[in-house]
Structure 1
Amino acid sequence: MENAALLKAIIQNAIDGIITIDERGRIETINPSACKLFQYTPEEVIGKNITILMPPPYKAEHDQYINRYQQTKNPHIIGIGREVTGLRKDGSTFPFRLAVSEVKFLGRDVYAGFIHDLSREKEAEEQLKEYASHLEELVEERTLSLKQSVLELQKAKEEVSQSLEKEKELGQLKSRFVSMASHEFRTPLSAVQLSASLIDKYAEPFQSTSISKHVGKIKNAVGNLTTILNDFLSLEKLEAGRVELSYSTFDIVKMGEEITEEMQLMAKQNQNIIYQHTGTTSMVTLDANLLKNCIINLIANAIKYSGEDSFIEFNTELNKQACIVTVKDNGIGIPKSDQKHLFEAFFRANNTGNIPGTGLGLNIVTRYAALMNGKVGFESEVNEGATFTISFPVQ
């Protein structure tokens, strides 16, 4: 009894449909899965011929399957693994795999049909066919497009080959012009700077605030032009690949103190640059000129974008892993929307207003730092200043 109950429970809960028919093809039992597939209740199909569940031509062939099976006792003729089509109550059809077994029960033959729904598999196959067909069309289109592109590339190659020589000549002319212009402008700028200093000196006995004010404007203008020339010259060297690293071992504290003293002369009224070093050692191996250029650029920006009566923090740190340079100000800061473009050449934040600049300084800093395997990072909030950090792995 327990075995019979277990068998019944298995049949009732089977995922596949199970139908039993007698020798005449009349349905004797049908499990819930089969009812769901064919959309019938057991009462609607039990006692009726199995052909009620078959669309043409399977309905006409059914009796032949039964007769052949009875004569040959060969199950595959009825359909082990055979793909057939079922007919639902609403008239729609669906594909399924049918396996039929003969069961001896109470002295008579009963035929059990096992029905595995193939609807999803067939839908997937159709989708695959559609995808394959679409892919073939795409491949054909892309092939034609590629052929056209190859022809265009061949044509472009010829044009590029002709223009490369001209581009090379133009590049050499640009390089020579930038170099010449930078050097030629330096001479009159130096003369203007010297003359302004002399005027300031000779005007001391008169104690004229107007003279000092205008001399200060001249010096600031000369400083701005010198910075612009230096930026363009540095960019030209970087673009031309003419920046060669020259590593040396030097005292970074001594360099920091020299830079602080030099940049303090450029600071605004009551702006103070505070330098501090962290670490038990101070000797590093880097390109001293490139590092100095990076630090001066960052401090110059801090001076430019901070107001009078402010502090600029300049720190160096040397530990076992890295050499770290930090410049912090409390100036205008950088808007969030502009921060992703900050290191691009010629980019300037939208809150810089009339503050002079080329937008090249930070681009040059990042490229110089990268040449020495360094990384540049920053943190900033509008009107709360900015903190820039350059870190170099210890050699």
Structure 2
Amino acid sequence: METRLLLQGILDASPDAISVFETVYDELGAPIDFRLIMTNKLSSQILSFSTDHVIGQLFSELIPGGVHDERFKALKLISETGQPLDREVFTYRTDGVYIWLKASLRQFEEFIVVTYTDISQRKEAEVQREKQDTLLERVFSTTLLGIIVYQAVRNHTGDITDFRIVQINRVGQELISGSTNVTGQLLTHVFPESVTPATMTRFTNVCEKGIPFEIEYFYLPLNKWYNIVGVPLGDGLMLTYVDITARKLAEEASLQQSNLLLRISESVKIGILTTEPVRDETGRITDFRYTYFNEQAKSSLPASWYQIPDQTVRSINHLGNADQMIELLNRVVGTGETVRRDTKSPDGKVIFSVISKLGTGAIITFVDVTQQRRAEEQARYSAELEQEVADRTQALSRTLSELEQSRNELERALAVERELSELKVRFVSMASHEFRTPLTTILTSTSLLEKYAEIDNQQDRQVKHIERIKTAVKHLNDILEEFLSLEKLQEGQINAHPVAVDLSQLVGETVNYIQDALEPRQTIEVALSCVGTILLDPSLFRKILINLLSNAVKYSGGGTVITIRISCTDKLLTMIVQDQGIGISPEDQKHLFERFFRAKNVSTIQGTGLGLHIVNRYVGLMGGQIDLSSELNVGTTLTVTLPI
């Protein structure tokens, strides 16, 4: 008993948490559990149990999870192998709280001594450090900054002789060395032209004294500007690089522009002043201070201005209107409005000024425009006189124009009258000629019919003369039909009404209608390649074809062939009517579609001179066109194209 108490005292005095387990075997001698026979206070604290209640308990009863716990597996392993075992386990206490333990297990006969050390804080620190390293690595790889980490290189006496690149991110690689991997190389080897004694001193001060630096450096090999910041990092330093070439170029351009503007402001004959607002403790603008005068402004303003130490609008009070000027400048600064105005100086000069916002203040430009305003006034007066002269001239021009228009209208009316008179004469001449022949035929045949009526056996002659009368009447009817068609066309009473048409049937009926008018041995040949129905106005198409065939029959004579060729595409119908007649001269072809025009070589053949004119009008109503080609004594070809 005294030995056990002594051993317990030794365990309690130990700086480590210690528990002693006795191996429990089954009937075959295999370890199946472990009984806690002794433990110290530190072990009770770490594992969160009471010593009085746990001594004598089996491990499977003592720890939640029992035989599945990592510590149980470790106990079983050492009891089976007898080999010492050291491991770190993430487990939980009897109260369910998870902890990290470092356990050392040693076997002494049937007893196993377990030494515990709570390493939860160390593990937590490692996890946090790992998270920080991961975060740092992500920042290192994703930042837009170029980053290079240098490690100091020292000689045998500990003095720094160089710096070695130990880490560089992607952006740093691209900014400094392009595609070359410089990790592990020395600073003096990578940047030999940039490493000066001043550079080494700056790097050494960061490394040994912790003095950071920030510089803007022009790297000649890449022709770029960089902003470089160096901070201490372990036995070395970390440099961050930012490409500021665009900013430096912009600053240089801005400086050049500022210098140019300054030179311009000093060379022009325009006075330039700049102002900045003066505010009270509440931020309200109470005045404006002049911050710049160019030479022209200095020479234009009173010398007394320069004797005032605080050159503000209120202290100078030019022309006694300081309050109004402050109010105006305040409006310009507050709204961004640009104000243009003329003011008159005490000596009578007219000063034109422009006040605009500039930064937080305003810029005032002014120029003496006295002579210009006088010239403008004179020009205005001259302009008024010129306007009055122009108005009167315009009125006179209007009157002359109206007279000219009246004269033109009169001439047009006279021309129309002459044309009507000419048409009337041509119509009367044509009508008298065209009507005379059929009327004479009718009168002659009628007289002969009267005589034949008194004589027997003259029936054949009577039929012959009756047919002549019918033909004459039909001719008169055709002439009247052409006159009526022309009148309807002139008055716009005829329009195209397209419908679905069986073209083969329509052409066949029209050709049959013309058959009675054919000369002896005169034939009509038809070649039609259109299939199915097409969309067109059948009445107008029939009239066009009848007119063209009538002309071909009339001017061809017996024994000739009249050809009709009709073809269709998706959107167009082409009809060609060709005869072997007397033809038309080139000169007459130019006028063939005019009203009442007849070619010189058809004066002995009946006709009104209206047929082709009417056909041309019909084709136009249907949205098509007609073309003619002809040769004297060879024949004529007319081509009609119509949309379908």
TM-score (norm 2): 0.31
More helix by share: 1
Larger radius of gyration: 2
